[in-house]
Structures are given as C-alpha cells and as structure tokens.
Amino acid sequence: MELLSKGVTCKGAAMAAGVGECTFHRWKKDKPEFAAAVEQAIGESEARLVRIALEGTKRNPQLAIQLLERRFRSWARHSSQESKVTGEITTTVTPEVLHALQSLPETVRDRRGAGLAVN
C-alpha cells in the first residue's frame, strides 16, 4: 500500500510485491478490506499530487488551466492553445476561465525574466 500511496500504479505495486497484476485485481475483487486499502492509498497519492500541482500554479499560472482541463473535462472546451514554430504560445480563454484565474498574480514572467502579455 505504501507504493500505491506514493503514486506507483497498481501494476507496479503488484510487481514490486512479487504478485501478478491479475492476482492483484482478483484480491481487490474478492477481499473488500484489501480493495478499501487500495482505494485509500490511491486517494492519498492523488491528494498529494494535487497539492504539488497547486503549488506549481504559483510559478506557472498556465498550469492551473491545464489542471482544470484534465480534471474537469468541461473546462477543456473553454480554452485552446496554438503553438507556432517560433515557440510563441497563444492562449484563448473564455470569460469563465479568466474569472477563475483572477486570484493569480497580475504579472507573470517567463524564464528569461520578460513579462508575458495577456490579451
């Protein structure tokens, strides 16, 4: 369970424990206590990863949009990105997304220290 709580997949945890993936899933099906422990460990892993990702949004506000799009499919239709060969990224967002991002810092700087423009 420790590996699952650290983010290792069920297959990886089974392999590390020396059992097959099919055996692991059979145990989950046949042993409610085991299934509950697996779900708790996976939930702990998800919660830790979300905390780490949220900390990352302080340095990279675009990450906030990516997290919302991946976690809540309905957000994916609210924004789009277009990359050009120059490496320039243009992002278009709806008013809903802009409203959600209002709590983020007003100025965002790229790695070179240059300010990024918001249209």
Percent of the chain as helix, strand, coil, to the nearest 5: 60, 10, 30
Buried b (16+ CB within 10 A) or exposed e, 23-39: ebeeebeeeeeeeeebe
HSE on the CB side for 26, CA within 13 Å?
Answer: 5
> What would the pLDDT profile of 44-93 be if each residue is shown by its tens digit?
988 888 888 888 888 887 877 777 777 777 767 655 555 445 666 666 76
Q: Answer yes or no: pTM beyond 0.75.
A: no
Comparing 108 with 32, the larger pLDDT belongs to 32
Q: What are phi and psi of 23, to 5 degrees?
A: -65, -45
Residue 119 has what pLDDT?
A: 42
> Residue 94: how many CB atoms within 10 A of its CB?
13
Helix axes of 21-30 and 32-59: crossing angle, nearest 10 degrees: 110
Residue 83 has what pLDDT?
A: 46
Comparing 102 with 82, the larger pLDDT belongs to 102
Residue 114 has what pLDDT?
A: 55
Helix (H, G, I), strand (E, B) or coil at 2: helix
Q: How confident is the model at residue 19 (pLDDT cuts 50, 70, 90)?
A: very high
